[in-house]
Amino acid sequence: MKSRAVLLTILFAFSITLFSVSAIFWEFYKLNKEQYIDHIFTKYSVIVQIYKENQQRQSSEIMIEANLAVYNLIVIKEQEEQEDVLLHANVLKREGFKSVNSAIMLGSQGLYKRNTVSNLKATMIEYKQTIYFHIQTPAGSILIKDEKLQPYNHLNMMYAYSTIFAIITLSFVLILQKLRPLIRLRKKIALFGNGNMRVSFKTKSCDEIGLVSNEIESARVKIENLLNARTLFLRNLMHELKTPIAKGTIATQMLGSEKQRNRFTSIFARLEALVTEFAMIEEVTSLDDKSEFIECRLVDIIDGAIDMAMVDINSVSLEVAGNVKINANYRLYTTAIKNMIDNAMKYSSDSHIKILMINNELCFESKGERLAHSLQYYIEPFTKNNPSKNSFGLGLYLVDSILKAHNQVLAYEYDKGVNRFIFA
């Protein structure tokens, strides 16, 4: 969820925007329609005025129709048509009002004026895209058709809403389109972080994401060149060192003094061991290919490490089940265990090491004094607890590097006179 926070935020903003725009347009549509109906409904006053005048003058029906025709109004006379309209029409607005009729009357007291108040009801209705006015009085009713007025047209409102909806949607699509390179860039960075040096960040895009991609590509090329130069330097250095070491070892055998011969033999042996450890460190630190990782039985790797360490089998107690398997580079992981065995043989008080599984973690236990410094001190290159020992201080550094290549870490704890190193 967190990895898609930007996308989810944009989707949320898009949804809220569309909902808000739709709600506003709906309210505006209702208000606009209501105002339109109110506006055209005022025409009923003309009809009422004509109707009242003709009632007062007692004009004929033909005169009423003539007066209404001036305003494009037609009286519907056919009973069947009236019933069809009144039954199926949509009522737009209805309003009641009073009509006052004055008449001169002759009574016992002479002439007097009598006002008659009538309740009238005006209804505006719509039927088949035509506007009708239905006037109801106590004496009867009349249905009038308006040939000029048009019902409210919502197409203009729909056109405006559709246009804004399309603009918002297009903007959202364009934003997503711009985010696609960012998603690809994240995936490439993940591959690069996992050791894939062949991934390319180069792009032809000139926007901000494109500039970032090209800058990362430039940094990748520089890092790759530095790593290649480092690897080439170390390999050439080790190659050039091995030749004089081999020649020196041969020349040592020609010395007449046994004491000097042994001294130089030891020196060249230490130099060869140092070059070998350097080669192993270079291989581990430049390891970016997991193709050599295979599923192995842990006991097989430990047996290989014991053979490499060339120690007495009785000096190692093994308590690891035969069905425990790990996915590892066999040669490198064997070297890591071999270094742990060498470390125990050099620094334990009884030259004995116990290898066992605790909570599914490989542990190496040996009796001895607690480490004088924290573990971090010893996994740095060229550091060692006892300078008198025959060591270059690269053993635990190499173990830590190998474990990191296997997504593991080296841990340490001391319990009742026992040093315990853990592959966690």
Q: What is the pLDDT of residues 358-367, one digit of tens each?
A: 888 899 999 8
pLDDT confidence of 347, banded at 50, 70, 90? confident
Q: By C-alpha distance, which of 263, 332, 272, 334 is closest to 299?
A: 334
Domain count for the chain: 4
Does residue 391 surpass a pLDDT of 50?
A: no
pLDDT, mean of residues 283-310:
77
Counted residue by residue, the chain has a size of 424
Residues 416, 310 within the same domain: yes
Residues 406, 366 within the same domain: yes
Cβ atoms 145, 128 nearer than 8 A = no
Residues 214, 272 within the same domain: yes
Cβ atoms 189, 199 nearer than 8 A = no
Does residue 286 surpass a pLDDT of 70?
A: no
Q: List Cα–Cα distances, 297 to 285, 311, 322, 325, in angstroms.
A: 25, 21, 7, 4
Residue 295 contacts by C-beta under 8 Å, 6 or more apart in sequence?
Answer: 325, 326, 327
Burial of 55 (0-12, 13-18, 19+ CB in 10 A): middle
Residues 18, 166 within the same domain: yes
Does residue 248 surpass a pLDDT of 80?
A: no
Domain's final residue, options 246, 270, 285: 285
Residue 95 domain-assigned (yes or no): yes
Tokens of 281: 């460190």
Question: For 373, which DSSP code?
Answer: S
Residues 360, 218 within the same domain: no
Residue 377 domain-assigned (yes or no): yes
353 or 200: which leads in pLDDT: 353
Q: What is the mean pLDDT of the chain?
A: 76
pLDDT for 38 = 74
Residues 267, 342 within the same domain: no
Q: What angle do CA 149, 150, 151 make, to 5 degrees?
A: 125
Burial of 136 (0-12, 13-18, 19+ CB in 10 A): middle
pLDDT confidence of 257, banded at 50, 70, 90? confident
Lowest-pLDDT range of 10-14, 26-30, 105-109? 105-109
Residue 201 domain-assigned (yes or no): no
Residues 11, 68 within the same domain: no
Residues 35, 57 within the same domain: no
Host domain of residue 102: 44-146
pLDDT, mean of residues 336-343:
86
Residue 66 domain-assigned (yes or no): yes
Does residue 161 surpass a pLDDT of 60?
A: yes
Residues 176, 306 within the same domain: no
pTM above 0.85, yes or no: no
Residue 204 domain-assigned (yes or no): no
Domain's final residue, options 266, 285, 304: 285
Residue 185 domain-assigned (yes or no): no
Residues 237, 129 within the same domain: no
Residues 360, 252 within the same domain: no
Residue 130 domain-assigned (yes or no): yes
Q: Pick the most confident of 67-71, 100-104, 305-309.
A: 305-309
**Which CATH number is 315's domain given?**
3.30.565.10
Residues 350, 414 within the same domain: yes
pLDDT for 139 = 62
Domain's final residue, options 285, 308, 329: 285
Residue 192 domain-assigned (yes or no): no
Could you tell me the strand order of the sheet in which 410-415 lies? 316-319, 353-358, 361-367, 418-423, 410-415
What's the N-to-C CA distance of the chain in angstroms? 29
